Chains A and B, each alone.
Chain A
Amino acid sequence: MDALSLENVTKAYDSVTAVNAVNLRVRQGAVLGLLGPNGAGKTTTIRMVMNILVPDEGSIRVLDKPVSDESRDSIGYLPEERGLYPRMKVRALIIFLAALHGLTEQEADKRAREWLARFDLGDWSEKKMVDLSKGMQQKVQFITAVIHKPPLVILDEPFSGLDPVNAATIKDVMLEMRDQGSTVILSTHRMEQVEKMCDSICLINHGRNVLDGDLRAIKHSYGKNTAHIEFTGSDAFLNHPSIAAINRFGSGVEAKLKPGADPQELLRAAVQSGVEISRFELLEPSLNDIFIEKTTRA
């Protein structure tokens, strides 16, 4: 069963087509990275999944049922723009939002205490939101997104502004939820997080999905077309015709090879040029490279 499926979904505002014939299937228990440049149509897509916006065309199914007001209770949402009632007390606020998602107040209270303890916020339960630091507020907001154990969780930049300890806790919760059968959709610009966390990705650009599927399969399809080279000496050999683009780092370079080029030829040319090579490794492209390629080519 698919946790989420979008078929040919289109949404236009006045003259701008924000989402254009997007197709997407997310299987249950997966962690999907929803990627795309700013203004690509990610938020509009998410809002249609939440039934906040209605698509002009196409259909959306959540847990194999057409999206409806009831399907909101199956979804947990951490919006990119954070904010909760500033003058409400932390625990009361969590209970209120959990109850809105269908929990009884007793159950909501019990879970709120557990979550607050897990995030080290126990002492802050009776404080007002406005008295909390930004990181603490973010943790509270994360709790409100997952407290009702939703089968589908949509997290928009969940790690932004968090220190490594808190980020690790949130990462653990995400993986825990996945292991319990929930589906997680992670929308972020941090490609290294996507590479670490996600099984599959969906890349949206200009309202269209330009790339989607299993992350490993996608990377594999690009082949090992990048050479990571560390050396001492003149870098004249980098003019070699097999190189399409160069990305320099402090310790070496990443040379992207032209399609069909033979990396061995590049290695030979480097040795012949007289530089001392300490490392020569062939890599699959990083998600970062794929993202840049897919979003700037169009």
Chain B
Amino acid sequence: MHKLWLIIKREYITRVKTKGFVIGTLIVPLVGVGFTLFIVYLVGHQSSKAMRISIMDNGGGIAPVVASDLQSRQSNGKPQFTVDQLIERPADANAVQKDLRAKINAGTLDGYLVIPADLSQSVELHTKNSGNFSLLGPVSSAVNEGVVEARLNARGVHVDNVRDLVKGPDLQVIKVTKEGESVEKGQTIGIAIALVILLYMSLLMYGIITMRSVLEEKTTRTMEVLISAVTPSQLLAGKILGVAGVAVTQFLIWGATIVLLGSYGVAMAAMGGAGSLLSGIHVPASLMICAVIYFFCGYFLYASMFAAVGAACSSEQDAQQLQWIAMAPLVFTMLIYSVVLNDSSSRLSVILSEVPFFGPVLMPLRVSLQTPPLWQIALSIAILLLSIAIVIFGSAKIYRVGILMYGKRPTLPELVRWLRYS
């Protein structure tokens, strides 16, 4: 046990001291937070400049309604549009357009709308900045309202405010859970997808770290000395547990960051600041615990496979070619998780989440969407633990044979044969 502890300790300390760990642990969340705040800042400031727009109405009668509608739209307390010119029934449409284009190119105008006389044709928005989709919604609904009002006027119906007339009630989705009900603003799907990506990335990253670590001992020939002091199983176990310790450390740091951010978000929301966007994200503690448990189950399952791959190879290149064996089930999970996302309690979702290689990602996903029956969680953990035992047993055999094999990369049948060596 003492030897195992020494190996875990060395693995942990050398990993934690690397630049990669410091960057991965500290810089990544900082960059993430910085990026989020930057986006929040951009969203807050970008629309402060109103779009200068002109309207050319070939049929006439619609432009004033559209103009007053656009001018009434605000974002962050500032007007979103200023209307420059209203041109109704122009004598020479082409000349007017040419003139407007010149203004856009001169920078005194941001865009102009062309409303055709025949409303079965499309309305055109001419602008330099054609990629700014945030303007499309307001412009489109303003035009829509202008057209509706014009048509109503034509039928002798006079209305003061078309927007109030045509506006239907919002549809609000409310998520029902055992704990009660909460308004769904897309955060369930957001959290679910973030969870899937986080679990997938972490499993892959820590699996590859384990593989590299084994490979390093092999390529540097340190292995020869190590196994003169400890058994291959001690070495394998020490490696996997040492890297697991690194994962725990990283998660604790990240967890603390999230908690700090969450309280920052709440504080900002109370003041009505830009950070209020963050306060909408609330991850239940039960989900976090579940994700951590499944991460470690998945880690032990995948890391031992990655360790076996590392042991079987003699070079980084070989390992890159052979690592698909360990990666394939994980990548496959990413191809099928949408099945669970669409209906997390369908029979297929239940079956897929019970498969040990998919469970570590799919079961937390199910939990995040809709709490599955407890027996399904218990069963999947039992299946996972059993699979971990079997996979570690097999990996240890491949590891034991592989660590002293140099030369050509083994094929899959050869690896299977190694399993039978005593």
Contact = CB atoms under 8 A, between A and B. Distances in A.
A and B associate in one complex? yes
Interface of A: 14, 47, 50, 52, 54, 69, 72-73, 75-77, 79, 81-88, 96-97, 99-101, 141, 144
Contacts of A85: 14, 216-217, 220, 222
Q: Which of A14, A82, A83, A87 has the most CB of B within 10 A?
A: A83
B220 A79 contact: no
A17 to B, nearest CB: 15
Interface in B1-51: 3, 6-7, 10, 14
Interface residues of A, dominant DSSP: loop
23 contacts: A47-B404, A50-B227, A52-B228, A52-B232, A75-B228, A77-B224, A77-B225, A79-B221, A79-B225, A81-B221, A82-B221, A83-B221, A84-B220, A85-B14, A85-B216, A85-B217, A85-B222, A88-B14, A96-B10, A97-B229, A99-B6, A100-B7, A100-B229
B317 interface: no
Contact of A84 (B7, B225, B231, B404): B225
B416 interface: no
A54 B404 CA distance: 14
B230 A72 contact: yes
B120 interface: no
Q: Which of B6, B7, B225 has the most CB of A within 10 A?
A: B225
Contact of A97 (B14, B220, B225, B231): B225
B225 A86 contact: no
Contacts of B10: 96
Contacts of B227: 50, 52
Contacts of A76: 228
Interface size range of chain B in the complex: 20 to 34
Given A72-B228, A96-B6, A100-B230, A54 B422 contact: yes
Interface of B: 3, 6-7, 10, 14, 216-217, 220-222, 224-232, 404, 417, 422
A281 B225 CA distance: 46
Given A69-B231, A100-B230, 16 more contacts: A47-B404, A50-B227, A72-B229, A73-B229, A77-B225, A77-B228, A79-B224, A82-B221, A83-B221, A83-B222, A84-B222, A84-B225, A85-B217, A100-B3, A100-B226, A141-B225
A96 B229 CA distance: 11
A178 B246 CA distance: 44
Contacts of B14: 85, 87-88
B80 to A, nearest CB: 57
A120 B351 CA distance: 65
Nearest to B3: A100
Q: Which 3 A-B pairs have the closest CB atoms?
A: A83-B221, A79-B224, A77-B228
A261 B79 CA distance: 119
Nearest to B228: A77
A140 to B, nearest CB: 11
A200 B7 CA distance: 38
A79 B417 CA distance: 27
A143 B232 CA distance: 23
A83 B219 CA distance: 9
Contacts of B404: 47, 52
A77 B224 CA distance: 9
B117 to A, nearest CB: 76
Given A52-B404, A54-B422, A88-B14, A81 B224 contact: yes
Nearest to A51: B231
B324 to A, nearest CB: 26
Nearest to A96: B10
Contact of A86 (B220, B224, B230, B422): B220
Contacts of B221: 79, 81-83
A87 B227 CA distance: 19
A144 B225 contact: yes
Contacts of A141: 225
Contacts of A83: 220-222, 224-225
A79 B229 CA distance: 12
A275 B224 CA distance: 57
Contacts of A100: 3, 6-7, 226, 229-230
A257 B230 CA distance: 52
B89 to A, nearest CB: 79
